[in-house]
Amino acid sequence: MGIDNLARRKAFTNARIIDPASGLDVLGGLLVDGETIVDLGEGLFSDGTPEGAEVMECQGHCLIPGLVDIRARLGEPGDEQKETLATAGRAAAAGGVTTIVCLPNTDPVIDDMSGVEFVARRARKLGLAKVYPYAAVTKNLEGEEIAELGMLAEAGAVAFTDGFNTIADAQLMRRALSYAKTFGLLIAQHPEEPSLSRGSSMNAGETATRLGLVGNPPESEVIMVERDIRIVELTGGRLHFAHLSTAKAIDAVRRAKGRGLAITCDTSPPYFALNEMAVGDYRTFAKLSPPLRIESDRQAVVEGLKDGTIDAIASDHLPQDEESKRLPFAEAAPGGVGIQTLLPITLELFHNGHMDLISAIDLVTRKSAELLALPAGRLTKGAAADLTLIDPDRGWKVSDKTLLSKSKNSPFDGRPVQGQALLTVVDGRIIHDTKV
Protein backbone atom coordinates (compact mmCIF):
# COMPACT_ATOMS: atom_id res chain seq x y z
CA MET A 1 0.00 0.00 0.00
CA GLY A 2 1.77 3.12 -1.16
CA ILE A 3 1.00 6.80 -0.68
CA ASP A 4 -0.85 8.23 -3.64
CA ASN A 5 -2.72 11.37 -4.54
CA LEU A 6 -5.40 9.65 -6.60
CA ALA A 7 -8.92 9.15 -5.35
CA ARG A 8 -10.00 5.95 -7.07
CA ARG A 9 -11.84 2.74 -6.25
CA LYS A 10 -10.42 1.01 -3.19
CA ALA A 11 -11.65 -2.15 -1.53
CA PHE A 12 -10.65 -2.46 2.12
CA THR A 13 -10.80 -6.16 2.94
CA ASN A 14 -10.51 -8.19 6.16
CA ALA A 15 -10.97 -5.15 8.38
CA ARG A 16 -12.51 -4.88 11.82
CA ILE A 17 -14.87 -2.04 10.94
CA ILE A 18 -15.72 0.18 13.92
CA ASP A 19 -18.19 3.01 13.52
CA PRO A 20 -19.25 4.44 16.90
CA ALA A 21 -22.02 6.50 15.29
CA SER A 22 -23.95 3.38 14.24
CA GLY A 23 -22.54 0.97 16.81
CA LEU A 24 -21.02 -1.11 14.00
CA ASP A 25 -18.20 -3.44 15.05
CA VAL A 26 -17.80 -6.28 12.56
CA LEU A 27 -15.19 -8.07 10.53
CA GLY A 28 -15.89 -7.12 6.95
CA GLY A 29 -15.08 -4.80 4.11
CA LEU A 30 -15.50 -1.22 2.93
CA LEU A 31 -15.61 0.09 -0.62
CA VAL A 32 -14.49 3.58 -1.62
CA ASP A 33 -15.27 5.04 -5.02
CA GLY A 34 -13.45 8.30 -5.66
CA GLU A 35 -13.91 10.49 -2.60
CA THR A 36 -16.88 8.62 -1.13
CA ILE A 37 -17.72 5.51 0.88
CA VAL A 38 -20.17 3.53 -1.28
CA ASP A 39 -20.60 0.35 0.76
CA LEU A 40 -19.44 -1.32 3.95
CA GLY A 41 -20.33 -4.15 6.28
CA GLU A 42 -19.96 -7.76 7.26
CA GLY A 43 -19.66 -10.15 4.36
CA LEU A 44 -18.86 -7.45 1.83
CA PHE A 45 -16.55 -8.89 -0.85
CA SER A 46 -17.50 -12.48 0.10
CA ASP A 47 -17.96 -13.00 -3.63
CA GLY A 48 -14.77 -11.14 -4.48
CA THR A 49 -13.76 -7.52 -4.86
CA PRO A 50 -15.07 -5.33 -7.72
CA GLU A 51 -13.11 -5.54 -10.93
CA GLY A 52 -10.51 -2.81 -11.20
CA ALA A 53 -10.62 -1.84 -7.51
CA GLU A 54 -7.35 -1.49 -5.65
CA VAL A 55 -7.40 -4.07 -2.84
CA MET A 56 -6.32 -2.78 0.57
CA GLU A 57 -5.72 -5.85 2.75
CA CYS A 58 -6.30 -4.77 6.37
CA GLN A 59 -5.20 -8.02 8.10
CA GLY A 60 -7.86 -7.74 10.79
CA HIS A 61 -6.81 -4.28 11.97
CA CYS A 62 -9.41 -1.70 12.97
CA LEU A 63 -10.83 0.53 10.24
CA ILE A 64 -12.37 3.56 11.94
CA PRO A 65 -13.53 7.06 10.96
CA GLY A 66 -10.67 9.53 10.64
CA LEU A 67 -10.05 11.28 13.95
CA VAL A 68 -11.55 14.75 14.42
CA ASP A 69 -9.42 17.16 16.47
CA ILE A 70 -11.51 20.15 17.55
CA ARG A 71 -8.80 22.27 19.16
CA ALA A 72 -5.34 22.89 17.69
CA ARG A 73 -3.10 25.87 17.12
CA LEU A 74 -1.43 25.46 13.76
CA GLY A 75 1.00 28.38 13.82
CA GLU A 76 0.27 29.69 10.34
CA PRO A 77 0.12 32.57 9.69
CA GLY A 78 2.53 34.33 12.03
CA ASP A 79 4.34 31.58 13.93
CA GLU A 80 5.69 29.43 11.13
CA GLN A 81 8.91 28.88 13.11
CA LYS A 82 6.82 26.78 15.54
CA GLU A 83 4.41 25.04 13.16
CA THR A 84 2.93 25.35 9.69
CA LEU A 85 -0.21 23.93 8.15
CA ALA A 86 2.05 21.52 6.26
CA THR A 87 3.95 20.19 9.28
CA ALA A 88 0.76 19.99 11.36
CA GLY A 89 -0.93 18.20 8.46
CA ARG A 90 1.82 15.59 8.30
CA ALA A 91 1.65 15.05 12.07
CA ALA A 92 -2.13 14.73 11.82
CA ALA A 93 -1.84 12.18 9.03
CA ALA A 94 0.61 10.10 11.08
CA GLY A 95 -1.78 10.29 14.01
CA GLY A 96 -4.84 9.21 12.05
CA VAL A 97 -6.41 12.67 12.23
CA THR A 98 -8.32 13.66 9.08
CA THR A 99 -10.13 16.77 10.36
CA ILE A 100 -8.66 19.63 12.42
CA VAL A 101 -10.36 22.72 13.81
CA CYS A 102 -7.74 25.42 14.26
CA LEU A 103 -7.68 28.25 16.79
CA PRO A 104 -7.83 31.90 15.70
CA ASN A 105 -4.70 32.83 17.69
CA THR A 106 -2.64 33.64 14.61
CA ASP A 107 -0.96 36.78 13.30
CA PRO A 108 -3.07 38.31 11.88
CA VAL A 109 -5.89 37.01 14.08
CA ILE A 110 -8.70 35.10 12.36
CA ASP A 111 -11.31 37.77 13.02
CA ASP A 112 -12.31 38.66 9.47
CA MET A 113 -13.40 36.80 6.35
CA SER A 114 -9.98 36.87 4.71
CA GLY A 115 -8.47 34.97 7.65
CA VAL A 116 -11.17 32.31 7.51
CA GLU A 117 -10.76 31.92 3.76
CA PHE A 118 -6.95 31.75 3.97
CA VAL A 119 -7.00 28.69 6.23
CA ALA A 120 -9.50 26.82 4.06
CA ARG A 121 -7.67 27.67 0.82
CA ARG A 122 -4.22 26.75 2.18
CA ALA A 123 -5.43 23.44 3.63
CA ARG A 124 -7.10 22.45 0.35
CA LYS A 125 -3.91 23.20 -1.54
CA LEU A 126 -1.85 21.00 0.80
CA GLY A 127 -4.28 18.09 0.49
CA LEU A 128 -3.58 16.63 3.93
CA ALA A 129 -6.03 16.78 6.84
CA LYS A 130 -9.11 18.93 6.33
CA VAL A 131 -8.88 22.16 8.32
CA TYR A 132 -11.80 24.21 9.60
CA PRO A 133 -11.25 27.48 11.47
CA TYR A 134 -12.61 28.90 14.65
CA ALA A 135 -12.96 32.65 14.37
CA ALA A 136 -12.30 35.06 17.21
CA VAL A 137 -15.15 36.15 19.46
CA THR A 138 -13.55 39.55 19.96
CA LYS A 139 -11.66 41.69 17.48
CA ASN A 140 -7.92 41.04 17.60
CA LEU A 141 -8.57 38.79 20.65
CA GLU A 142 -8.52 41.90 22.82
CA GLY A 143 -11.68 41.10 24.76
CA GLU A 144 -13.24 44.49 24.12
CA GLU A 145 -15.34 44.46 20.94
CA ILE A 146 -17.31 41.55 19.48
CA ALA A 147 -16.28 40.44 15.99
CA GLU A 148 -18.79 40.10 13.13
CA LEU A 149 -19.87 36.59 14.11
CA GLY A 150 -22.65 36.23 11.53
CA MET A 151 -20.44 37.23 8.60
CA LEU A 152 -17.60 35.02 9.84
CA ALA A 153 -19.95 32.05 10.06
CA GLU A 154 -21.08 32.67 6.47
CA ALA A 155 -17.40 32.70 5.42
CA GLY A 156 -16.84 29.28 6.97
CA ALA A 157 -16.03 29.69 10.67
CA VAL A 158 -17.47 26.64 12.47
CA ALA A 159 -17.53 28.20 15.97
CA PHE A 160 -16.06 31.11 17.91
CA THR A 161 -13.43 31.38 20.61
CA ASP A 162 -10.67 33.66 21.80
CA GLY A 163 -8.51 30.54 22.00
CA PHE A 164 -6.32 30.47 25.06
CA ASN A 165 -7.44 34.01 25.93
CA THR A 166 -10.30 33.99 28.43
CA ILE A 167 -13.35 36.10 27.66
CA ALA A 168 -13.07 37.73 31.06
CA ASP A 169 -15.63 40.54 30.84
CA ALA A 170 -19.01 39.20 31.95
CA GLN A 171 -21.02 41.81 30.10
CA LEU A 172 -19.11 41.12 26.88
CA MET A 173 -19.71 37.38 27.29
CA ARG A 174 -23.41 38.10 27.82
CA ARG A 175 -23.58 40.13 24.59
CA ALA A 176 -21.56 37.55 22.66
CA LEU A 177 -23.80 34.66 23.74
CA SER A 178 -26.92 36.67 22.92
CA TYR A 179 -25.54 37.66 19.51
CA ALA A 180 -24.41 34.10 18.77
CA LYS A 181 -27.85 32.74 19.75
CA THR A 182 -29.44 34.85 17.02
CA PHE A 183 -27.42 32.93 14.40
CA GLY A 184 -27.41 29.56 16.20
CA LEU A 185 -23.66 29.76 16.76
CA LEU A 186 -21.44 28.16 19.40
CA ILE A 187 -18.94 30.00 21.58
CA ALA A 188 -16.02 28.15 23.19
CA GLN A 189 -14.37 29.46 26.34
CA HIS A 190 -10.93 28.95 27.89
CA PRO A 191 -12.20 28.88 31.51
CA GLU A 192 -9.69 30.64 33.71
CA GLU A 193 -10.22 33.58 36.03
CA PRO A 194 -7.35 35.82 34.91
CA SER A 195 -6.63 37.60 38.18
CA LEU A 196 -6.31 34.26 40.03
CA SER A 197 -4.07 32.67 37.40
CA ARG A 198 -1.93 35.69 36.53
CA GLY A 199 1.80 34.98 36.81
CA SER A 200 1.26 31.31 37.62
CA SER A 201 3.39 28.47 36.29
CA MET A 202 1.72 25.28 37.51
CA ASN A 203 -1.08 23.98 39.70
CA ALA A 204 -1.27 25.59 43.13
CA GLY A 205 -0.43 23.29 46.02
CA GLU A 206 2.39 21.55 47.84
CA THR A 207 4.39 20.77 44.70
CA ALA A 208 4.34 24.39 43.51
CA THR A 209 5.37 25.55 46.99
CA ARG A 210 8.24 23.04 47.10
CA LEU A 211 9.45 24.17 43.66
CA GLY A 212 9.07 27.87 44.53
CA LEU A 213 6.62 28.46 41.68
CA VAL A 214 3.48 30.61 41.60
CA GLY A 215 0.45 28.34 41.57
CA ASN A 216 -2.76 28.46 39.54
CA PRO A 217 -5.56 27.29 41.89
CA PRO A 218 -8.30 24.95 40.63
CA GLU A 219 -10.76 27.65 41.71
CA SER A 220 -9.63 29.82 38.78
CA GLU A 221 -11.23 27.27 36.44
CA VAL A 222 -14.44 26.56 38.35
CA ILE A 223 -15.15 30.24 39.10
CA MET A 224 -15.17 31.04 35.38
CA VAL A 225 -17.20 27.91 34.56
CA GLU A 226 -19.82 28.76 37.17
CA ARG A 227 -19.98 32.40 36.06
CA ASP A 228 -20.50 31.44 32.44
CA ILE A 229 -23.13 28.86 33.32
CA ARG A 230 -25.11 31.71 34.91
CA ILE A 231 -24.69 33.79 31.76
CA VAL A 232 -25.96 30.88 29.64
CA GLU A 233 -29.01 30.76 31.91
CA LEU A 234 -29.45 34.48 31.37
CA THR A 235 -29.10 34.45 27.58
CA GLY A 236 -30.14 30.98 26.43
CA GLY A 237 -26.96 30.81 24.35
CA ARG A 238 -24.76 27.80 23.53
CA LEU A 239 -21.40 27.56 25.30
CA HIS A 240 -18.56 25.06 25.16
CA PHE A 241 -15.79 24.83 27.77
CA ALA A 242 -12.38 23.76 26.47
CA HIS A 243 -9.87 21.48 28.20
CA LEU A 244 -11.49 21.04 31.61
CA SER A 245 -8.93 19.89 34.16
CA THR A 246 -10.55 20.01 37.61
CA ALA A 247 -13.11 17.95 39.51
CA LYS A 248 -15.02 21.05 40.63
CA ALA A 249 -15.43 22.42 37.10
CA ILE A 250 -16.54 19.03 35.74
CA ASP A 251 -19.08 18.73 38.55
CA ALA A 252 -20.41 22.23 37.78
CA VAL A 253 -20.92 21.24 34.13
CA ARG A 254 -22.56 17.97 35.20
CA ARG A 255 -25.10 19.89 37.28
CA ALA A 256 -25.70 22.44 34.49
CA LYS A 257 -26.37 19.68 31.98
CA GLY A 258 -28.78 18.17 34.47
CA ARG A 259 -30.73 21.43 34.36
CA GLY A 260 -30.94 21.19 30.57
CA LEU A 261 -28.60 24.07 29.72
CA ALA A 262 -26.94 24.17 26.29
CA ILE A 263 -23.46 23.54 27.66
CA THR A 264 -20.80 21.15 26.38
CA CYS A 265 -17.14 20.60 27.21
CA ASP A 266 -14.02 18.75 26.21
CA THR A 267 -10.76 17.78 27.82
CA SER A 268 -7.31 16.94 26.48
CA PRO A 269 -5.11 13.87 26.92
CA PRO A 270 -2.72 15.39 29.49
CA TYR A 271 -5.57 15.93 31.93
CA PHE A 272 -6.60 12.28 32.10
CA ALA A 273 -3.16 10.73 31.52
CA LEU A 274 -0.86 12.94 33.64
CA ASN A 275 -0.89 14.83 36.91
CA GLU A 276 1.22 17.65 38.33
CA MET A 277 4.02 15.25 39.27
CA ALA A 278 4.98 15.21 35.56
CA VAL A 279 6.51 18.65 36.16
CA GLY A 280 9.25 16.81 38.09
CA ASP A 281 12.22 19.08 38.52
CA TYR A 282 11.07 22.01 36.35
CA ARG A 283 10.28 20.00 33.21
CA THR A 284 9.02 22.70 30.86
CA PHE A 285 7.40 20.23 28.42
CA ALA A 286 4.88 19.62 31.23
CA LYS A 287 4.02 23.31 31.54
CA LEU A 288 0.54 23.57 30.06
CA SER A 289 -2.47 25.87 30.16
CA PRO A 290 -4.50 24.93 32.15
CA PRO A 291 -1.78 23.34 34.27
CA LEU A 292 -1.60 19.66 35.12
CA ARG A 293 -3.58 19.10 38.32
CA ILE A 294 -3.45 16.72 41.29
CA GLU A 295 -4.25 13.01 41.01
CA SER A 296 -7.83 13.34 42.26
CA ASP A 297 -8.54 15.87 39.51
CA ARG A 298 -7.05 13.51 36.92
CA GLN A 299 -9.33 10.74 38.17
CA ALA A 300 -12.32 13.12 38.01
CA VAL A 301 -11.54 13.81 34.34
CA VAL A 302 -11.57 10.06 33.66
CA GLU A 303 -14.93 9.77 35.45
CA GLY A 304 -16.28 12.73 33.46
CA LEU A 305 -15.36 10.97 30.24
CA LYS A 306 -16.90 7.71 31.40
CA ASP A 307 -20.23 9.18 32.45
CA GLY A 308 -20.56 11.50 29.44
CA THR A 309 -20.22 14.81 31.29
CA ILE A 310 -17.18 15.50 29.11
CA ASP A 311 -18.38 15.35 25.51
CA ALA A 312 -15.14 14.85 23.59
CA ILE A 313 -11.35 14.80 23.63
CA ALA A 314 -9.30 17.40 21.73
CA SER A 315 -5.53 17.43 21.30
CA ASP A 316 -5.06 21.00 22.55
CA HIS A 317 -2.08 21.06 20.17
CA LEU A 318 0.09 24.07 21.03
CA PRO A 319 3.56 23.92 19.46
CA GLN A 320 6.41 25.87 21.02
CA ASP A 321 9.93 26.08 19.64
CA GLU A 322 13.10 25.42 21.65
CA GLU A 323 13.62 29.11 22.37
CA SER A 324 10.21 29.21 24.08
CA LYS A 325 10.73 26.09 26.19
CA ARG A 326 14.45 26.14 27.02
CA LEU A 327 13.97 28.75 29.69
CA PRO A 328 13.53 28.73 33.47
CA PHE A 329 10.16 27.09 34.21
CA ALA A 330 8.44 30.32 35.24
CA GLU A 331 9.49 32.01 31.99
CA ALA A 332 8.83 29.12 29.57
CA ALA A 333 5.81 29.28 27.31
CA PRO A 334 2.94 26.90 28.15
CA GLY A 335 1.62 24.28 25.78
CA GLY A 336 2.36 20.92 24.22
CA VAL A 337 2.09 19.31 20.81
CA GLY A 338 -0.67 16.74 20.74
CA ILE A 339 -2.07 15.92 17.31
CA GLN A 340 0.07 12.84 16.74
CA THR A 341 -0.46 11.47 20.27
CA LEU A 342 -4.24 12.04 20.37
CA LEU A 343 -4.97 8.46 19.30
CA PRO A 344 -2.62 6.47 21.57
CA ILE A 345 -3.29 8.50 24.71
CA THR A 346 -7.05 8.29 24.13
CA LEU A 347 -6.64 4.53 23.73
CA GLU A 348 -5.14 4.41 27.24
CA LEU A 349 -8.74 4.78 28.43
CA PHE A 350 -9.37 1.42 26.74
CA HIS A 351 -6.11 -0.27 27.67
CA ASN A 352 -6.51 0.77 31.32
CA GLY A 353 -10.03 -0.67 31.47
CA HIS A 354 -11.97 2.58 31.83
CA MET A 355 -14.11 2.02 28.72
CA ASP A 356 -14.46 -0.28 25.73
CA LEU A 357 -12.67 0.38 22.45
CA ILE A 358 -15.69 1.74 20.56
CA SER A 359 -16.44 4.25 23.36
CA ALA A 360 -12.86 5.53 23.39
CA ILE A 361 -12.85 5.97 19.60
CA ASP A 362 -16.22 7.73 19.81
CA LEU A 363 -14.66 10.53 21.88
CA VAL A 364 -12.31 11.52 19.04
CA THR A 365 -14.57 10.83 16.06
CA ARG A 366 -18.38 11.14 16.12
CA LYS A 367 -18.69 13.09 19.35
CA SER A 368 -16.06 15.65 18.33
CA ALA A 369 -17.65 16.12 14.90
CA GLU A 370 -21.16 16.50 16.30
CA LEU A 371 -20.12 19.26 18.70
CA LEU A 372 -19.28 21.53 15.77
CA ALA A 373 -21.69 19.99 13.22
CA LEU A 374 -18.80 18.84 11.04
CA PRO A 375 -19.33 16.41 8.14
CA ALA A 376 -16.90 13.91 9.63
CA GLY A 377 -16.47 11.19 12.23
CA ARG A 378 -18.68 8.50 10.66
CA LEU A 379 -18.37 5.48 8.39
CA THR A 380 -21.56 5.51 6.38
CA LYS A 381 -22.61 5.14 2.75
CA GLY A 382 -22.34 8.44 0.92
CA ALA A 383 -19.97 9.99 3.47
CA ALA A 384 -16.54 11.32 2.58
CA ALA A 385 -13.93 8.57 2.57
CA ASP A 386 -12.00 9.91 5.57
CA LEU A 387 -10.68 6.75 7.22
CA THR A 388 -7.97 5.52 9.52
CA LEU A 389 -6.67 1.97 9.79
CA ILE A 390 -5.27 1.47 13.28
CA ASP A 391 -3.55 -1.20 15.31
CA PRO A 392 -4.73 -0.36 18.85
CA ASP A 393 -2.05 -2.58 20.39
CA ARG A 394 1.03 -1.53 18.43
CA GLY A 395 3.59 -0.01 20.78
CA TRP A 396 5.88 2.93 20.12
CA LYS A 397 7.70 5.61 22.10
CA VAL A 398 6.95 9.31 21.94
CA SER A 399 10.13 11.23 21.08
CA ASP A 400 11.50 13.93 18.82
CA LYS A 401 12.32 11.14 16.35
CA THR A 402 8.71 9.93 16.12
CA LEU A 403 6.90 13.29 16.18
CA LEU A 404 6.41 15.02 12.82
CA SER A 405 5.32 18.40 14.18
CA LYS A 406 7.82 21.17 13.58
CA SER A 407 8.04 21.67 17.34
CA LYS A 408 8.66 18.68 19.62
CA ASN A 409 7.33 19.93 22.97
CA SER A 410 5.24 16.93 23.97
CA PRO A 411 4.30 16.46 27.63
CA PHE A 412 4.42 12.73 26.78
CA ASP A 413 8.04 12.85 25.61
CA GLY A 414 9.70 9.51 26.41
CA ARG A 415 6.40 7.77 27.18
CA PRO A 416 5.78 4.27 25.78
CA VAL A 417 2.31 4.21 24.20
CA GLN A 418 0.02 1.73 22.44
CA GLY A 419 -1.99 2.45 19.34
CA GLN A 420 -0.86 3.61 15.94
CA ALA A 421 -2.40 4.72 12.67
CA LEU A 422 -1.22 2.35 9.93
CA LEU A 423 -3.01 4.09 7.08
CA THR A 424 -4.80 7.45 6.85
CA VAL A 425 -7.17 8.31 4.01
CA VAL A 426 -8.75 11.68 3.19
CA ASP A 427 -11.39 11.86 0.45
CA GLY A 428 -10.23 8.47 -0.81
CA ARG A 429 -6.56 9.52 -1.04
CA ILE A 430 -3.90 7.84 1.08
CA ILE A 431 -2.04 10.58 2.98
CA HIS A 432 -0.13 8.34 5.38
CA ASP A 433 1.06 4.74 5.21
CA THR A 434 3.42 3.15 7.74
CA LYS A 435 4.58 0.68 5.11
CA VAL A 436 6.24 3.45 3.08
Task: Answer left, alpha or beta for residue 23, where phi above 0 means left and psi between -120 and 50 means alpha.
Answer: left
**Secondary structure (3-state) at 249:** helix
Residue 117 CB-half CA count within 13 A? 6
d(CA 366, CA 373): 10
Active-site residue among 228, 266, 297, 316? 316
CA angle 60, 64, 69 (to 5 degrees): 145
DSSP 155-219: HT--EEE-TTS----HHHHHHHHHHHHHHT-EEEE----HHHHTT--EESSHHHHHHT--EE-TH
- Provide DSSP, 263-302: EEEEE-HHHHH--GGGGTTT-GGG--SSPP--HHHHHHHH
369: burial class by Cβ within 10 Å (0-12, 13-18, 19+)? buried
Known catalytic residue at 316: yes
Between CA 40 and CA 52 the distance in angstroms is 18
Active site residues: 316
